[in-house]
Structure 1
Amino acid sequence: MPEPFSRRLFLAAGVAAAEAAQAQDSPQRAPVVQQPYPQSNLPAATNPIRIVTDRDIDPNEVALLKAAAPNVEVFVCSNQDEYLDRVRDAEVIIGEPHEDILRRAPKLKWVQVSGAGMEWMDQALRNSPVVVTNCARTFAPGITETGMGLLLCLTRGISTYYMPQFYKHQLRPIGTPRSPDHIELAGKTMAIVGMGGIGSTMARRAHYGFDMRIIATDAKPLPRPEYVAELRTPAWFPEMIQQADVVVSAAPLTALTERMFNEAAFRSMKPEAFYIALSRGKLFDDMALVRALREKWIRGAGLDVFPIEPPPPDHPIYDLPNVVMTPHTSGWSPDRETRLIALYAENIRRYSVGEPLVNVVDKQRGY
């Protein structure tokens, strides 16, 4: 029998969110004027609650979803024909439905997206009355562990100097104890673009775990956490990255953020700075990054995402010694799946009684 759903498990996964909500007065912080977070505003559900998905959810996980509220029906569709048939009676969809699915689902009230990014959302869903929730923060633990791992590979010379030697059955030290071939993070400044789940978790870990100074931007009106020295609106971005030793892109992909890391941005960074890409690959111009790394505008880059995934075999990114990459797998782990199902279950419970849902997406902003 599957373990019963535990709200404690779900709430434990949101510790970073709770810490981020600790407001601290900051005389340096620029005012953030935005609309409030969207609310679900759905009445209590009628029974039965019919949930349809084409995602890979196993029977034990289905049992946890059914246990979240009375009279829940979950249909895991094994093929497209079954999915198209089932959505006709769906009140809830777990997945990423496009316009053709919306037309077939007249009873649909709520979409629980199975990922965090919303760039796939088409105009039909954006303009519909259907409430959309995503999985923001669910993947942040693994992603930020990978982010710090990529950074340490670069700062400690592991990927640049020592792994290439290791593959040749060689190992000799590079530089001297005094040379800047090995860099410590303590006291360095990390600039984070986007203080959502990834950005806020990265900030907390870099500050408390590595004694780094954190500065950041975000488009939403967030209180400044105690582990962030300065938090401002996106207008501060050009100035912020000039003073950073590490720049982390953790923003959602929207029309305003696409290719924001372009030639001008990379040229304005410190020559000794590192760029870490964790949220969406299309936030950066890959050829501008290649040039920045070749011509030493910046010192190195750690990438879990790329504009085209995977990069084609002839892409020049593969020839650069000051790059370390993973294939958009930073959010993977068994623990991540546990948090994912816990989030679905908590939202089903809330939906069943008319409580505000977790992670409601602002469909006009796109995140």
Structure 2
Amino acid sequence: MKLILPVEVADDLLPHLPSEAVVVRVDNEGNLDSDATDAEVYLSWFFLKSTALHKVLVAAPQLRWHQATNAGVNHILTPLYLERDITLTNAAGVHAIPIAEFVMTFMLAHAKQLPQLYTLQVQQHWQRDFQISELYDKTVLIIGAGGIGQEIASRAKAFGMRVYGSRRHPQPLANFDKVVGVNEWRWLLAEADYVVIATPLTWETKGMIDADILRFMRPSAYLINIARGTIVDEVALQKALQENWIAGAALDTVFTEPLPPDSPLWKLPNVFITPHCSGHSPRAKERSLSLFLENLTRYRRGEPLRNVVDKNAGY
């Protein structure tokens, strides 16, 4: 069995591979160190470029299974990729813990006025007469109650929050007070103090947080996006923030990344911007390799793989 492995982790994986495995290394530009025409397994690494992916597809016509290290795979499902009969598995769950912790950080920063407190410290100014609130008894709506959404819910529930969620196939879930279908979350916006976007980017979700949705949110509501920037209509969001339709937003992802220096979002006082880093963790590599090796064992045994992507649904 021949495998295509990223140069970043090939040596880490070698001691754990079956004895008959033959490894072809690939760099982040898609350059291979040997012949991959009969390779059937491909592990891609973080920040996969479509140009590199397409080089691998051309070089490996017999690929049968591709393990990605991202939960979102919209950048992988290109027309060229969809022409091939390749089983794609994603890394759902690998980044859930650090992202969930980041979401709680965003909510606490908003509730406890951390930006203002940092400013006061820099100014060496002792001021106490401003609004600080609690997360206790607040309501969070998590749009996308998958692996990441469920990790967020467990932490929010520990803070005493009411937790609502949505998913494609609604069902009761631990730590959620209510789970609704993909379109029903709109009717919960009027109750939400925090709205967290944790849904995959698909043709259905692209631009779904538009002016109408932002108008429907409470003026005191806070929007958090740790999914994909294009799920949000950025022009509408800027207007909503400038005109105080909502209280503010925390954005770990934006429409154009890196965020252009001239973007109005940089200077809005009610926006917390982070550089798409909520999933970063020193344990991401360990979890990614563990998932790949588990799926490799399943693949060799002919067992169902974990995290198989529905290419029609986009996740």
> What TM-score does the superposition give when structure 2 sets the normalisation length?
0.91
- Amino acid of the structure 2 residue aligned with 1:218: R
Q: Does 1:227 find its partner at 2:178?
A: no
Correspondent of 1:358 among 273, 292, 306:
306
Q: 1:265-287: CA deviations, max 9, x gaps? A: 11100011110111111111222
From the superposition, tell whether residues 308 and 105 of structure 1 become closer, same or farther in structure 2 (CA, over 3 Å): same
The residue aligned with 1:163 is: 118
From the superposition, tell whether residues 353 and 317 of structure 1 become closer, same or farther in structure 2 (CA, over 3 Å): same
The residue aligned with 2:107 is: 151
Q: What root-mean-square deviation, in Å, do the aligned CA atoms of Structure 1 and Structure 2 show?
A: 1.9
The residue aligned with 1:198 is: 148
Q: 1:184-211: CA deviations, max 9, x gaps? A: 111111111111121111111111x211
Correspondent of 2:14 among 60, 63, 70:
63
From the superposition, tell whether residues 165 and 77 of structure 1 become closer, same or farther in structure 2 (CA, over 3 Å): same
Q: 1:41-95: CA deviations, max 9, x gaps? A: xxxxxxxx21113462152x223542xx442233323475742853322111112
- Amino acid of the structure 1 residue aligned with 2:150: S
The residue aligned with 1:135 is: 91
> What TM-score does the superposition give when structure 1 sets the normalisation length?
0.79
Q: Equivalent residues in 2 for 1:63-212 (5 A)?
A: 63-66=14-17, 69-78=18-27, 80=29, 82-83=31-32, 85-95=34-44, 98-120=53-75, 121-159=77-115, 161-175=116-130, 181-207=131-157, 209-212=158-161
Distance 1:262 1:359 in 2: 30
Q: How many residues align?
A: 308
Q: Equivalent residues in 2 for 1:335-346 (5 A)?
A: 335-346=283-294
Higher relative contact order (CA 8 A, sep 6+): 1
Distance 2:138 2:58 in 1: 52
Q: Which has the higher mean CA deviation after the structures are superposed, 116-125 or 186-195?
A: 116-125
From the superposition, tell whether residues 84 and 366 of structure 1 become closer, same or farther in structure 2 (CA, over 3 Å): farther
Taking every aligned residue pair, what percent have the same amino acid on both sides? Answer: 33
- Are the counterparts in 2 of residues 217 and 233 from structure 1 also a CA contact under 8 Å? yes
SS of corresponding position for 1:164: helix
Instruction: List runs of 5+ in structure 1 lacking aligned partners.
Output: 1-48, 176-180
Distance 2:217 2:28 in 1: 48
- Amino acid of the structure 2 residue aligned with 1:51: L
Distance 1:190 1:364 in 2: 29
- Are the counterparts in 1 of residues 26 and 33 from structure 2 also a CA contact under 8 Å? no
The residue aligned with 1:251 is: 199
Correspondent of 1:324 among 267, 272, 275:
272
- Are the counterparts in 1 of residues 210 and 232 from structure 2 also a CA contact under 8 Å? yes
Distance 2:150 2:202 in 1: 19
Q: Does 1:266 find its partner at 2:214?
A: yes
Q: Does 1:313 find its partner at 2:224?
A: no
The residue aligned with 1:38 is: none
From the superposition, tell whether residues 241 and 87 of structure 1 become closer, same or farther in structure 2 (CA, over 3 Å): farther
SS of corresponding position for 2:283: helix
Instruction: Kindly state the Cα deviation for residue 324 of structure 1 after the two structures are TM-superposed.
Output: 1.4
- Are the counterparts in 2 of residues 84 and 101 from structure 1 also a CA contact under 8 Å? no
Instruction: Kindly state the Cα deviation for residue 100 of structure 1 after the two structures are TM-superposed.
Output: 5.0
Distance 1:217 1:55 in 2: 38
Distance 1:255 1:129 in 2: 21
